[in-house]
Structure 1
């Protein structure tokens, strides 16, 4: 009777998925956010009333916006930091993973709590 090989399940696909989602958000959403809030609003090309902005931001699409502009890029950048520390030969891989991904999760949760507090 041949013994079955047992493969250890990895959580890496989750982290790589968040990494790639954050990369897409960095490439697609952040330039448009910078253009809108950094150039168009200050130059007066676009006007935005507080009530209109508040109503939009605290809607479902505002929640998607917070996730796309803050949470996913946080996972992307901290995943890069994690692998940079691995490349620098830091040996505490489990600790590094918990610190970087934990900080990204904590930052994401804090943003969501701030968003919920505004409701």
Structure 2
């Protein structure tokens, strides 16, 4: 029987953020780790590339600010969506409280990232 009045779901929003965070983490985070964590300390990059002034100028630009916010916020949405569904898979049925808590943590990290980026810029 077809339900003529289906209930709206908020899952597409969370799945969209989950997918965006997973894609960001898989595609851009390894490059970021390579540049900041390996090439910089090994001295392969110019010493001025990762100086405070250079990084501050990067974050002050709109594309740099969006990159830093995306690097911090999107993987957190991915992780918290995974935690939310992982708890359900492990038979920890926390209901709406668990869902709100998981997504509130992701929102808080996103908000803190935005605040700090705009404080630097």
How high is the TM-score relative to the length of structure 1? 0.91
How many residue pairs match? The answer is 116
- Which residue is equivalent to 2:39? 40
One of 80, 84, 94 as aligned partner of 2:86: 84
- Which residue is equivalent to 1:64? 66
The two structures, once aligned, show a CA RMSD in angstroms of 1.3
Deviation string 1:54-100 (CA, Å, 9 cap, x unpaired) is 11112111222123211000000111111110011222221111000
Structure 1 position 116, deviation (Å): 1.2
Q: Determine the C-alpha separation between the residues in 1 that align with 2:54 and 2:31.
A: 19
CA contact (8 A) 2:69 2:117 kept: no
5+ unaligned residues in a row in structure 2: which ranges?
none
Q: Determine the C-alpha separation between the residues in 2 that align with 1:113 and 1:67.
A: 10
Structure 1 position 14, deviation (Å): 0.5
- Segment drifting more, 49-58 vs 27-36: 49-58
Q: Determine the C-alpha separation between the residues in 2 that align with 1:67 and 1:73.
A: 10
5+ unaligned residues in a row in structure 1: which ranges?
none
One of 83, 101, 104 as aligned partner of 1:102: 104
- Which residue is equivalent to 1:17? 16
